[in-house]
Structure 1
Amino acid sequence: MAPIPTPPAEPQDQPDSYVGLPAEHAERQARERGWSTVRSLPPGAIITMEYRVGRLNFEVRDGLVIRAWKG
């Protein structure tokens, strides 16, 4: 049987630190800090809930991040 792959380490910054930032700035900062995928979503968007290592999600309203979470 093949070994189970070890997922890459996620950046150690806190998702809450992005709340209140303009979405473009937050996305650029997240990529610079090592997040492999950054997803911006409108409030109430229907999304899949699978956990993806290295993904940071932003809920964006009026151009500002109002919520951020890993996965």
Structure 2
Amino acid sequence: MAPIPTPPAEPQDSPDGYVGLDAANAERLARQRGWPTVRSLPPGAIITMEYRVGRLNFEVRDGRVARAWKG
């Protein structure tokens, strides 16, 4: 049986620090801090709820990050 791959480590970064930032700057900062996937979503977007290691989600309202969470 093949070994189960070890998922990559997530950056030691708090999503709360992105709230209030301009969306484009927040995405650029997140990538600089090591997030391989950054997803920007409009308020109320319908999304799947699976957890993805290494993904940072932004809810963007009026060009600013209103909410940020991992996965």
User: Is the structural similarity TM-score above 0.5?
Assistant: yes
Tell me the CA shift for residue 18 of structure 1: 0.2
Match of 1:31 in 2: 31
CA offsets 1:4-45 (integer angstroms, 9 cap, x no match): 100010000100000000000000000000000000000000
What is the aligned residue count? 71
C-alpha RMSD of the superposition: 0.4
- TM-score, reference length from structure 1: 0.98
**Matched residue of 1:58: which SS?**
strand
Counterpart-to-counterpart distance in 2, 1:54 and 1:9: 7
Tell me the CA shift for residue 60 of structure 1: 0.3
Counterpart-to-counterpart distance in 2, 1:26 and 1:20: 9
- TM-score, reference length from structure 2: 0.98
Match of 2:3 in 1: 3
Identity %: 86
* Pairs within 5 Å for 1:8-23: 8-23=8-23
Match of 1:58 in 2: 58
Runs (5+) with no aligned partner, structure 2: none
Tell me the CA shift for residue 58 of structure 1: 0.1
